[in-house]
Every structure is written in structure tokens, then in C-alpha cells.
Amino acid sequence: MTVSSPRRVLSGTGAILMAPVALVARLLDPPLSALQRVGGTNGMAAFFLLPNMAVFGIFVLLPLVINIIYSMTGGTALFLADRTFVGAAQYQRLFDCRSYVDPKSCTEDLFWTAVWNTAGFVVVQVVFMVVVALVTALVLNRDLRARSFWRAVFFFPVLLSPVVVGLIWRWILQRQGLLNFGLYELGLTPVNWLVERNWAFAAAVGVSIWAHVGFYALILLAGLQAIPKDLYEAAEMDGTRPARVFWRITLPLLAPNLLVVLVLVLIRAVQIFDEVYVLTGGGPGTATLYLTQYIYEVGFASFLRNPGLASAASILMGAVLIVLTLFQLGIARRNEMRGKR
């Protein structure tokens, strides 16, 4: 790798600003050239990939392996060295149930409560998120006035920190929050939104959709805009009703994007934590207790902490996510192959 000749960038203010960069480049040239002579171009590739691989290895792979080891230990000590090896005991404990469908019949009833809660949440949220994102994208695709403004408005919540999102909606939905205040002023009976089981669930779903739908709508919007306009004109000439245009033309051509969005939402939904934890804390009771919160509480927040059990639960959750990710990779590859044809 040789550095481009500094002569090319020398002109006016550009030269002054680029001078230190050019100097550094010139200084780096000899050692890097020497390295290339030794390692060849493949060697250079490895040299530049090494830092990132190291970071990935240390901060992703290593903790993953350590986590698996943790899941096979017991005790309350935090350090691996102080823990006792118990084999699959933690997993046995998690799976110790008379009936998997009834959390109350399980030893770790909170784990299974969290599992079924998360399953219910995932199903509902995925359906609604995809539908809302699709509708939003369809609306944003039209020739509205101030279209860019509306797109920014829908995307804005995506930029917010999840804690902020949870807090805002808690202030709106709590017993003495904005919504009840509005209802009271209108003469309607206020509802304790975050304390009624079903409303709390709806709030969890609704808030997380509000916070992220802009992102998925944007993906679908890009897909919609990739559909050639003359297809719609041809359909118009063909006398096609709007509903049929949507079902027979828009939707099939949007299918690859929809699939991507579906899998992304799915993977995200399984890991739901931040907004819900701030919004309801897992309540009322354990109505909105989801897997990630369970793992956090067992591993860190309760007395006494049980890192082994938490690790086991997180490994199980990770297994589900790996399956979903492989599914997503498969789809991505299929889209790629389709594109090449």
C-alpha cells in the first residue's frame, strides 16, 4: 500500500489543512510498505482486520463462551473461580415443570411466566408493527405536502433513548398522568392504564411500536419507491381497482422488504426490555415481565444474585435468537440470489 503523492492535494487552504495528514501518511509509508513486502496483499488484509477481530473476539465471543460456562455453575459468587461446577443443574431447574404451559406448575415459575409473556408479546407486536409500518410507508409514499416533514416526524421516536420513551409514556399513562387528566376533563372515567393487566400489555406493545415503527416504515418506504411507477400506470390502464393494485402488485413486489422487516422486528421483540422496564417495571404483578428483565433480576438485581441461573436462561434465549438470525440470513441470501438473476 503506497500513499498517494502529497503533491496532488496541495492547493490553497486545502494544502494547509491536509499538510499534517500528508505528513503522517508519508511517515507511515515506509513501515507499511515493509510490512506488505513481508506479508503480501493477503497479509496486509489480515493486518488490518486484526484489531477488529480482536475486539470482536474479546467483547463478543469470549463473553459468550464465559456465559456458557457460567450457566453450568452454581453459587452466588460473581467470580468464576469462586463458583462450583454443577453441570446441567441450572437448566434442569429451569425445565422442571409439571406442565410447560402452566408457569405456576414450574419450579422457576417466573422464568416460564416471562417466556409465555414474551411469546405473547412477540406475536402481537410483530403483527401490529409490520402492519403499522406498512400503512405508514404507504401513506408517506404519497405526494403529500411537507412530505419530508412527516417522514421526520415518524422517524423521530427512533432517535430517542428507550429510557426517555418509557418515561414519557409513563407520565402520560400513569394514574395521574396526562391521558387520565384529559379523560377527566372530558367527563369520562379515567382508567389506571398501567395497573390493569390488559391495558398494561397494550401499553407495552403500543409504546414499543411507537418508538420503532419509523425505522421499519423507512425500510418499507424504500421498497415502495423501488417499484417502477409505470407498473401502476399499466395497472390503471388495465382498469385495476386500488385494493387489487395493493394485493396483486404492491404487496408481491414489496415482499422481500417485508420479510426483512418481519425478521428484524421478530428478533428485536424477543429481546424487549428497556422501554417496558421503565414503563411498567414488569408489572402489574408480572403481566409485563419479559425474558430480558427476568434474566437481569435473577442475575443482578435480586438478593441473592444467581448468575448461574441467569446465564442458563440467557443461553436458552440466545438459542432462540440464533435460530431466528439463521432464518434471516437465509432470507437475505435468497434475496441476493434473486437479485442476481
Q: Write down the least CB distance from residue 206 to another protein, Å.
A: 17
| Residues 94, 108: Cα–Cα separation, whole Å | 6
Residues between 27 and 56 that touch another protein (CB under 8 A): none
- CA nearest to 121, candidates 200, 204, 182, 63: 204
Q: Given the complex with another protein, which of 206 and 281 has the nearer CB atom?
A: 281
- CA nearest to 111, candidates 88, 96, 94: 94
- State the first-to-last Cα distance of the chain, in angstroms, to the nearest integer: 36
User: Could you tell me which stretch among 56-64, 125-133, 189-197, 266-274 binds another protein (CB under 8 A)?
Assistant: 189-197
Q: Which of 39, 87, 252, 330 binds another protein (CB under 8 A)?
A: 252
Q: Is 104 in the site for another protein (CB under 8 A)?
A: yes
Q: Which of 27, 38, 46, 78 binds another protein (CB under 8 A)?
A: 78
One character per residue 253-292, x = contact with another protein (rule: CB under 8 A): x--------------------------xxxxxxxxxx---
Cis peptide before 228 (omega within 30 of 0): no
Residues between 218 and 247 that touch another protein (CB under 8 A): 228, 230-231, 233-241, 244
The string over 29-66, giving b where at least 16 C-beta atoms fall within 10 Å of a residue's C-beta and e elsewhere, is: eeeeeeeeeeeeeeeeeeeeeeeeeeeeeeeeeeeeee
The count of C-alpha atoms lying within 13 angstroms of the C-alpha of 190, restricted to the half-sphere facing its C-beta, is: 17
Q: Given the complex with another protein, which of 186 and 301 has the nearer CB atom?
A: 301
Q: Which of 305, 327, 332, 335 binds another protein (CB under 8 A)?
A: 305
- CA nearest to 100, candidates 111, 87, 89: 111
Q: Is 98 in the site for another protein (CB under 8 A)?
A: no
| Torsion angle defined by CA atoms of residues 137, 140, 142 and 144, in that order, rounded to the nearest 10 degrees | 170
Q: Which of 109, 116, 206, 324 binds another protein (CB under 8 A)?
A: 109
Q: Given the complex with another protein, which of 268 and 305 has the nearer CB atom?
A: 305
DSSP 53-69: HHHHIIIIIHHHHHHHH
- CA nearest to 251, candidates 215, 220, 219, 230: 220
Q: Given the complex with another protein, which of 128 and 232 has the nearer CB atom?
A: 232
Q: Given the complex with another protein, which of 98 and 244 has the nearer CB atom?
A: 244
Q: Is 92 in the site for another protein (CB under 8 A)?
A: no
Question: Strand, helix or coil at 195?
Answer: coil
Q: Which residues bind another protein (CB under 8 A)?
A: 74-79, 104, 107, 109-110, 113, 175-176, 192, 194-195, 197, 228, 230-231, 233-241, 244, 248-249, 252-253, 280-289, 293, 297, 300-306, 308-309, 341
